[in-house]
Chain A
Amino acid sequence: MASRQRGATDPAGDREILSAGDVARTVARMAHQIIEKTALDAPSAPDVVLMGIPSRGAPLARRLAAKIAEFSGRTVHEGTLDITLYRDDLRRGPTRPLEATKLPEGGIDDRLVVLVDDVLFSGRTIRSALDALRDHGRPRAVQLAVLVDRGHRELPIRADYVGKNLPTSKTEDVVVMLEEFDGRDGVVLK
């Protein structure tokens, strides 16, 4: 599987979009973009915090924070923000388990919050995240970083940092795998 060519389709019809190496390179590139866009390496750098949206946004935020520290020498705090209680579709399915919420040290007031998620699709998760953030404090500004943007937005929301733009059909499934949950990194289109 590891030696499979990128873009190849396996017998089950799954297509690998990003390999483990691609994920690592993409995260590194996004870290550079965050440093550049927020001017993190400037003397008057803003106070940036990364908030990962569980489940897979949380380890992505941790990885981005580590890369940002490595490239810029600046420590950025990170946390997790569960948005389940803010969803608009809770009554359209079985009870959803809640995930962890952990605010970064010092909270989010007057800081530049970068929301981090694995896939940007309808935009409804991000709408919920913006509502949740508002209840936790008043950030100076909010930006969005996603590993994959698969299109089909249902709300006027866009990402500031996109790892991979992936045109999809609505019936396809984008699966982001991360070491922490899935034993390996990769992105597959099913």
Chain B
Amino acid sequence: MKHLLSTDGLDRDQAIAILDTADRLKQALLGREVRKLPTLRGRTVITMFYENSTRTRVSFEIAGKWMSADVINVSSSGSSVSKGESLRDTALTLQAAGADCVIVRHPASGAAHRLAGWLKHTNTSVVNAGDGMHEHPTQALLDAATLRDRLGSLDGRRVAIVGDVLHSRVARSNVHLLTTLGAEVTLVAPPTLLPTGVEKWPVTVSHEIDSELASQDAVMLLRVQAERMTGGFFPSSREYSIAYGLNERRLKLLPEHAVVLHPGPMLRGMEIASVVADSPQAAITEQVRNGVHVRMAVLYHLLAHEEETA
């Protein structure tokens, strides 16, 4: 594997290999005083974030450092990007400076694919850390890792993804990955927050949350992405919360074993009630913890093998 750009196109064997590696890494680091592996010694990983992020950037940085890679963070403010340098020139600069891997987050859908195209004849790998409303593959992988931890296998499991599917790269990546891993996905959202063409996705669509909950093994809540909204998608936050928020009453409709996921950042009281976020069924901090192991696994699969140029 040279790049990780999307979960669309990641086959079942590749996905399971990454998740298994993440499990092994977690096991190898368990109870250690020195959380440092020499595996990527001498490799340089550059994170390039053109959008705000806490958990993704930090967890990539920790992942790289725990494997002894040199990790350098570039953000759009404070770099030549603010002087007007194009994404292409920035990428070629970082490659020329010696990056073995560029991890990119960008507001434009498809940015990571373009980047991989520009770096085609080099040995530099590209990881998509979120591109606009397109994909966020490592988030989907860490969600799958968390669900595997809690539920065992994903085969035949039912997962509802609730909320702002339209603007969500997390939803897109999860739909591809979870169905590849054998889960049945139901999207629950108001019609205004579903993308056009959703009928061609391998999912069931519902506009009503209460009737779906009893049959789910997991519920994944999405943040309502106000920053990407240009029109009126729903009357008010309060109304959204009443219609689609996971509150205490709805938590009781879920089977006891069901897992509650949220990719973060959470808007407590909006898509998720505070008591639900802090309930034992919520796996939100486990998601963050797994995020580090999954990203270590991704770096391992991209960087710890003989070079491939393609």
A positions within 8 Å CB-CB of B? 82, 85-86, 90-103, 107, 131, 135-137
Given contacts A135-B36, A136-B32, contact A92 B306 (CB under 8 A): yes
**Bound state CA distance, A94 and B34, in angstroms?**
28
Q: How far is the CB of B22 from chain A (nearest CB, A)?
A: 9
- By a beta-carbon cutoff of 8 Å, the part of chain B in contact with chain A is 1, 17, 20-21, 24-25, 27-28, 31-34, 36-39, 67, 300-301, 304-307
* Interface pair A91/B20, CB less than 8 Å apart: no
Q: Do the beta carbons of A95 and B37 come within 8 Å of each other?
A: no
CA distance A4 to B304 in the complex (A): 43
With contact pairs A85-B39, A100-B27 given, residues A90 and B305 touching in the complex (Cβ less than 8 Å) = yes
Per the bound structure, the CA–CA distance linking A91 and B32 in Å amounts to: 26
Quote the shortest CB–CB distance from A134 to chain B (angstroms).
8
- The interface residues of chain A lying within 8 Å CB-to-CB of B33 are 137
What is the total of A-B residue contacts with beta carbons within 8 Å? 57
Residue of B nearest to A93 (CB): B306
Pairwise interchain contact A98-B37, C-beta atoms closer than 8 A: no
> Within 8 Å CB of A96, what residues of B?
304-305
Given pairs A90-B39, A102-B27, 8 additional interface contacts (CB within 8 A) = A90-B305, A91-B307, A95-B17, A97-B17, A98-B20, A98-B25, A107-B31, A135-B32
Chain A residues within an 8 Å CB radius of B27: 100-102
Name the 4 nearest CB pairs between A and B, nearest first.
A98-B24, A90-B304, A95-B305, A85-B39
The winner among A95, A96, A102, A131 for most chain B CB atoms within 10 A is A95
Instruction: List 24 A–B pairs whose Cβ atoms lie within 8 Å, in order of A's numbering.
Output: A82-B24, A82-B28, A85-B28, A85-B67, A85-B300, A86-B39, A95-B17, A95-B300, A95-B305, A96-B304, A97-B21, A98-B20, A98-B24, A98-B25, A98-B28, A99-B24, A100-B27, A101-B24, A101-B27, A102-B27, A131-B38, A135-B36, A135-B37, A136-B32
Interface centre among A85, A94, A101, A103 (most CB of B within 10 A): A85
Q: Which residues does chain A contribute within 8 Å of B301, judged by CB atoms?
A: 95
CB distance from B225 to the nearest CB of A (A): 35
A85 touches B1 (CB 8 A): no
Complex-state Cα separation, A99 to B27, whole angstroms:
10
Contact A95 B24 (CB under 8 A): no
Knowing A95-B300, A100-B27, the reply to whether A85 touches B305 (Cβ < 8 A) is: no
The minimal Cβ–Cβ distance linking B2 to chain A, given in whole angstroms, is 11
Query: What residue of chain B has the Cβ atom nearest to residue A135's Cβ?
Result: B34
Which one, A91, A101, A103, contacts B305 given CB within 8 A? A91
**Cα–Cα distance between A86 and B1 once the two chains are bound (Å):** 20
Contact of A85 among B20, B37, B307 (CB under 8 A): B37
Which residues on the A side are within 8 Å of B39 (C-beta)? 85-86, 90
Q: For residue B18, which residue of chain A has the nearest CB?
A: A95
A100 and B27 CA atoms in complex are apart in Å by 7
Other-chain contact of A101, B20, B28, B34 (Cβ < 8 Å):
B28
- Chain B, residue nearest A128 (CB): B38
Q: How far is the CB of A142 from chain B (nearest CB, A)?
A: 17
Complex Cα gap A82–B27 (Å): 10
* A102 / chain B contacts, CB cutoff of 8 Å: 27
The interface residues of chain A lying within 8 Å CB-to-CB of B300 are 85, 95, 98
Cβ–Cβ < 8 Å partners of B31 in chain A? 103, 107
B134 to chain A, nearest CB (A): 26
Q: Give the residues in chain B near A107, CB-CB below 8 Å.
A: 31
Name the residue of chain B whose CB is nearest to the CB of A95: B305
